[in-house]
Structure 1
Amino acid sequence: MQNAQGTTGSPSLWTKEFVLLSVANLFLFFSFQMLIPTLPVYVTQMGGDELAVGLVISVFTVSALLVRPVAGLLLDRVGRRQVLLFGAVVFLACVAGYYFAAAVAVLLFLRFVHGIGWGALTTAYSTVVADIIPAHRRGEGMGYFGLSSTLGMMLAPLIGLYLVDAYGFGVMFATATVLAALSLVLAQAVRIPAGTPAPAGAETSVWANLFEKKALFPALLAGLLSVTYGGIVSFITLYGAQQGIANVGWFFLGNAGTMLVTRPLSGKLFDKKGHVWVLLPGAFAVIAGLWVISVATNEWTLLVASVLFGLGMGSVQPSLLAWTINRVAPHRRGAANGTIFSAFDGGIAVGAMLLGAVAKVTGYAVMYRWSALFMVAFLAIYLYYVWSGKESKAT
């Protein structure tokens, strides 16, 4: 049997399409992550207060969350390339427009629209790469593909801050715009497989197709995981200052670096052994990481916590994505990705709000211990699902 490359054996993972899409995703995440630490500063320089800074984060998350199910539906019904192109053009236009925003209100409007582009584009990327990856290497492929986003999380914030400090916001926005444009060009060069048409008799109503039922259980687990991550990205800097930890950047560096190593390895384990072998130890690693965070008093302790948390996130997140794709029919991959990415986004938002309220009452250290209960719930629900036989019926 010959594969697409004309060689004998199973289909290759490292096709031109997979590499192009991975590099396009790398440029996309670099463009996006450069804005994370710099936009709040930009808002304050424009005269915005703390409320405006908070809205910069929240309006983006809300619009991305709202658009993902719609994007998933359109990916299945209209086509992969059309949704990808729409998201990429909107994303690019908003990044370029930030520098020309004359007021905070204009910036917030751009941020809301930016979230629409981001939600549509990242859902499209995940769906297209799921179409490209050979089924028997899906866990490994999603792990490798996720490295591009992890590299962006690891390096781009530092680059963005450096460019602002050294050259100003104009150069930083221009760099982010060029990276977004390169992502668009590379993605359009990818030969996207034709989507699988829905079989005769399939549900046709829009409402029923906004979410994929077979993706709901992995999405529930994804939401529980993301709640803990929402508590980290929202409060780790404040917690570090409270604990006298001079540089909490070590946590993000250690977390991203560990995920960089863990993603492909856990993906291979997922393909060979199944999700139980990845999700169970990954969940325990997240719990351990949260506990170590809660007792951290210096950079070294925080670095240990980042490694443990990175092991868990780097194992669980891509495995949930691969498991979701494996559970659904090819013509429902767009809706499935929209469903689980909405859970990731929603979990982060819930974590930021709910754990913030907990921290106000208990303090940050106790809050991180309480946040581990979401992963205890993750384990309890997941084990019941597997042991009850529901898992074998659904997959």
Structure 2
Amino acid sequence: MDGHANGYANGRAKSSPIFTSGFVRLFACNLSLVVIYFLLMTTMALHAATLYGVDPALAGLTASVFLVGGIAGRVVCVRLECRFSLRQIGLAFLALQTVAVALYFMEFVGISFLLAVRLLHGVAFGVANTVVPALAIDGLPAGRLGEGTGYFMLSNTLGIGIGPLMSVLIVVGIDYSVLFSICLVLSALSLVLLRTYREPAAAKGRSIASIRARKAPIVDSSTVKFSFFMFLIAFAYSSINAFVESYADELGLGLFAPFVFLVYAAVLLLIRPVTGKLMDRYGEDVILYPSIASMGAGLILVAFARDPLSLLACGVFMATGFGTCMSVGQAAAVKISTSSSTSLTVSTFFILCDTGCGIGPFVLGFLVSSCGYEVMYVACALIAFATTIYYRLIR
């Protein structure tokens, strides 16, 4: 009787729908967040250098300080969950993000003010980008966690494609105030979407259990070792984010650099639903080992790229590598976690990922200065391949 009941429950879980109205709202909310992130991340340094005449290092702080704020925001989110529901936290910090975006219009104040606003925006983004995925994951059917997370992470994929593409508006002469207006509308939209979202009963129960906890840890200790592989992968991937455009310029292929990210997004749109289903059926290891290896192969390809096709192929390997590790790794972390708080697990995963992305460009910049881009990309490929060994040891 018990086996029959369990089989019936599992069957119901696997047949339960993923694309509920709540899931769609959260998907659109996260998409708005990510578009804002990439639209400003790819243009703000140029904006600071042009408007205030500061040197590249100071202009680059507009990106670094945002990432610092993002990491702080994820820690803050975990602490706040002891007192408030995820939805309440998300609404408060989406409102804060809207205020921060509005402050970008105050261009006359100076670079110090802009850096302070970027820090504030980073905190708001870090909290919101922890809460929204956690709410989405909490609402997924238990037997379709990998598949559902894969679908949800497509919101990140679309944001990665749309954000940098919209930044091309600056290249063709559109004023920054137009971009800030777009971001303000998207920020307000994300606030409305979460405001109209209603948590499922099961997710509310988990939130109440978290609220009742007297002391909340900063990280999910049960998944730190597992999630550290994402720090290593993100560190290696930061070489693409930070340097592929300048490297392409040096090779005379600067025109093709933005399309690397479009290829990346297009490939992920095709493979993420498939990798999610494969994870649910065969486990995360079947996906993550090839993905980590793909990451290393792609970086080797970039190191020796001398034509547009090789450069664009990098986008394919980064999608099957870094992009797949992001979605499958996050779902796997939630699956193996012993914590009752999904947001704590998600926060831990992204804290390590964000730290890798933030530290990478700074450290790798010294390697580029002393040894050149080719050596730097080969070194990052070796890090990626070494991550395969690390992952094998912890599993």
Match in the other structure for 2:49: 44
Match in the other structure for 2:85: 79
8 Å contact kept, 2:82–2:213:
no
The answer to whether structure 1 residue 341 and structure 2 residue 346 are counterparts is: no
Matches within 5 A, 1:88-127: 88-102=94-108, 103-127=110-134
The one-letter code of the counterpart of 1:368 is Y
Match in the other structure for 2:198: 191
Give the Cα–Cα distance (whole angstroms) in 1 for the partners of residues 25 and 321 of structure 2.
28
Match in the other structure for 1:389: none
The one-letter code of the counterpart of 1:22 is F
Give the Cα–Cα distance (whole angstroms) in 2 for the partners of residues 46 and 170 of structure 1.
12
TM-superposed deviation, 1:353:
1.7
TM-superposed deviation, 1:245:
1.3
The one-letter code of the counterpart of 1:105 is S
Give the Cα–Cα distance (whole angstroms) in 1 for the partners of residues 262 and 154 of structure 2.
14
Structure 1 vs Structure 2: percent identity of aligned residues? 29
The answer to whether structure 1 residue 319 and structure 2 residue 328 are counterparts is: yes
* Secondary structure of 2:223's aligned partner: helix
TM-superposed deviation, 1:77:
4.5
**Structure 1 residues without counterparts, runs of 5 or longer:** 387-395
TM-superposed deviation, 1:384:
2.1
TM-superposed deviation, 1:329:
4.3
The CA RMSD over aligned residues, in Å, is 2.2
Give the Cα–Cα distance (whole angstroms) in 2 for the partners of residues 234 and 130 of structure 1.
30
Match in the other structure for 1:23: 28
TM-superposed deviation, 1:164:
7.1
TM-superposed deviation, 1:335:
1.3
Match in the other structure for 1:69: 75
TM-superposed deviation, 1:330:
6.1
Match in the other structure for 2:312: 303
Deviation digits for residues 49-97 of structure 1 (CA, Å, limit 9, x no counterpart): 1233111011111111122122123235421012101221111111121
The one-letter code of the counterpart of 2:234 is S
Match in the other structure for 1:392: none
Give the Cα–Cα distance (whole angstroms) in 2 for the partners of residues 195 and 330 of structure 1.
14
Deviation digits for residues 336-392 of structure 1 (CA, Å, limit 9, x no counterpart): 111111001001112112222222222111111111122222111111233xxxxxx
Match in the other structure for 1:132: 139
8 Å contact kept, 1:284–1:312:
yes
Matches within 5 A, 1:262-277: 262-277=271-286
TM-superposed deviation, 1:327:
1.7
8 Å contact kept, 2:164–2:258:
no
8 Å contact kept, 1:286–1:311:
yes
Deviates more, 1:63-72 or 1:223-232: 63-72
Of 183, 187, 209, the match for 1:176? 183
TM-superposed deviation, 1:203:
7.4
8 Å contact kept, 1:143–1:264:
yes
TM-superposed deviation, 1:287:
0.9
1:143/1:66 CA distance change after superposition, 3 Å:
same
8 Å contact kept, 1:164–1:172:
no
8 Å contact kept, 2:33–2:125:
no
The answer to whether structure 1 residue 32 and structure 2 residue 37 are counterparts is: yes
TM-superposed deviation, 1:48:
3.5
Deviates more, 1:95-104 or 1:114-123: 95-104
1:46/1:222 CA distance change after superposition, 3 Å:
same
The one-letter code of the counterpart of 1:350 is I
Give the Cα–Cα distance (whole angstroms) in 1 for the partners of residues 177 and 358 of structure 2.
30
Matches within 5 A, 1:197-212: 197-198=208-209, 204-206=214-216, 209-212=217-220
Give the Cα–Cα distance (whole angstroms) in 1 for the partners of residues 14 and 221 of structure 2.
34
The one-letter code of the counterpart of 1:217 is K
The answer to whether structure 1 residue 243 and structure 2 residue 248 are counterparts is: no
8 Å contact kept, 2:223–2:337:
yes
The answer to whether structure 1 residue 54 and structure 2 residue 84 are counterparts is: no
Match in the other structure for 1:384: 393
* Secondary structure of 1:99's aligned partner: coil
The one-letter code of the counterpart of 2:159 is G
8 Å contact kept, 1:24–1:182:
yes
The one-letter code of the counterpart of 2:221 is K
8 Å contact kept, 2:222–2:338:
no
Aligned residues: 379
8 Å contact kept, 2:146–2:328:
yes
8 Å contact kept, 1:262–1:314:
no
Give the Cα–Cα distance (whole angstroms) in 2 for the partners of residues 8 and 334 of structure 1.
22
The answer to whether structure 1 residue 368 and structure 2 residue 377 are counterparts is: yes
Give the Cα–Cα distance (whole angstroms) in 2 for the partners of residues 330 and 46 of structure 1.
47
* Secondary structure of 2:204's aligned partner: coil
1:15/1:212 CA distance change after superposition, 3 Å:
same
* Secondary structure of 2:169's aligned partner: helix
Give the Cα–Cα distance (whole angstroms) in 1 for the partners of residues 173 and 73 of structure 2.
36
Match in the other structure for 1:391: none
The answer to whether structure 1 residue 283 and structure 2 residue 288 are counterparts is: no
8 Å contact kept, 1:227–1:348:
yes
Deviation digits for residues 159-181 of structure 1 (CA, Å, limit 9, x no counterpart): 23316745412222111100111
The one-letter code of the counterpart of 1:71 is C
8 Å contact kept, 1:292–1:305:
yes
**Structure 2 residues without counterparts, runs of 5 or longer:** none
Deviates more, 1:274-283 or 1:84-93: 84-93
Deviates more, 1:10-19 or 1:110-119: 10-19
Deviation digits for residues 122-174 of structure 1 (CA, Å, limit 9, x no counterpart): 00011111111112111111111111121111122222331674541222211
